[in-house]
């Protein structure tokens, strides 16, 4: 992992893993696969670094990997603090085939991005990291760090395209054209980004294997 990511990213990964381990729910939820969510989060982290470097030409942005890895940390908080609500949100996602953020807002008048952003603020994360988590679904609302928030959002879409859904039975049909338009890059660039992300993930088996200890989903009743 050190060779693949570099020492600074490994340090950030260790800090992020500590956050996730602290917040991780201790129970299973039918229809939600925590192992696949970890795969999604790692893919999003790698994808965010690759996309952000193309968008901003800032190849040393340590915040990119961490923002991608923690972009869904709000879901952990909902699952841990409000397990019954979380279970209903999962069921509603499956029944109505709507995004989790939509069902979260319907049930809680907030969503995982806002909750994750507030957590990052309370833990005194840098503003760029807070914005990457808080605004990954609406990057235009970030006044200072729109490019990173947009990179996280695009990497989130790319990760959904590249891996199985952690919402069991929910399809993830996202085209490269959609992702390219979202982050202001060409489809050809997105092809290169996809290949680069896949190559790096191929070297991250030790990181991805951390998810093996997480609960695997049962299909929702």
Does residue 7 register a pLDDT over 60? no
Segments making up each domain of the chain, as ranges? 2-213
Confidence at 16, pLDDT banded by 50, 70, 90: low
Would you say the C-alpha torsion 73, 207, 136, 120 has a positive or negative sign? positive
Confidence at 211, pLDDT banded by 50, 70, 90: low
Tell me the two tokens of residue 145. 């760090």
**Lowest-confidence segment of 2-11, 144-153, 175-184, 209-218 by average pLDDT:** 2-11
Q: What is the pLDDT of residue 88?
A: 93
Confidence at 51, pLDDT banded by 50, 70, 90: very high
Confidence at 210, pLDDT banded by 50, 70, 90: low
Whether the Cβ atoms of residue 44 and residue 159 lie closer than 8 Å to each other:
yes
Would you say the C-alpha torsion 182, 184, 190, 193 has a positive or negative sign? negative
d(CA 118, CA 200): 30
Tell me the two tokens of residue 94. 């499956």
Average pLDDT, the chain: 83
This prediction's pTM? 0.85
d(CA 32, CA 87): 9
Q: CATH classification of 2-213 is 1.10.3210.10, yes or no?
A: yes
Whether the Cβ atoms of residue 117 and residue 132 lie closer than 8 Å to each other:
no
pLDDT for 63-109, tens place per residue? 898 899 999 999 988 988 898 999 899 889 888 888 899 999 999 99
């Amino acid at each position: 992992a050190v060779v693949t990511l570099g020492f600074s990213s490994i340090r950030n990964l260790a800090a992020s893993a500590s956050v996730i381990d602290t917040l991780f729910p201790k129970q299973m939820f039918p229809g939600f696969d925590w192992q696949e969510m970890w795969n999604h989060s790692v893919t999003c982290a790698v994808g965010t670094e690759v996309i952000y470097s193309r968008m901003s030409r800032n190849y040393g942005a340590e915040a990119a990997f961490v923002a991608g890895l923690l972009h869904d940390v709000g879901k952990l908080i909902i699952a841990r603090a409000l397990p019954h609500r979380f279970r209903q949100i999962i069921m509603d996602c499956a029944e109505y085939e709507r995004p989790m953020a939509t069902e979260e807002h319907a049930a809680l008048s907030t969503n995982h991005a806002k909750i994750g952003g507030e957590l990052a603020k309370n833990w005194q994360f840098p503003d760029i990291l807070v914005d990457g988590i808080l605004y990954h679904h609406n990057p235009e609302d970030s006044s200072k760090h729109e490019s990173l928030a947009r990179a996280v959002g695009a990497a989130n879409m790319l990760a959904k395209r590249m891996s199985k859904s952690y919402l069991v039975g929910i399809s993830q049909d996202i085209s490269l054209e959609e992702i390219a338009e979202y982050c202001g890059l060409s489809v050809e660039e997105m092809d290169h980004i996809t290949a680069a992300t896949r190559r790096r993930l191929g070297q991250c088996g030790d990181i991805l294997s951390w998810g093996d200890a997480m609960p695997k989903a049962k299909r929702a009743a």
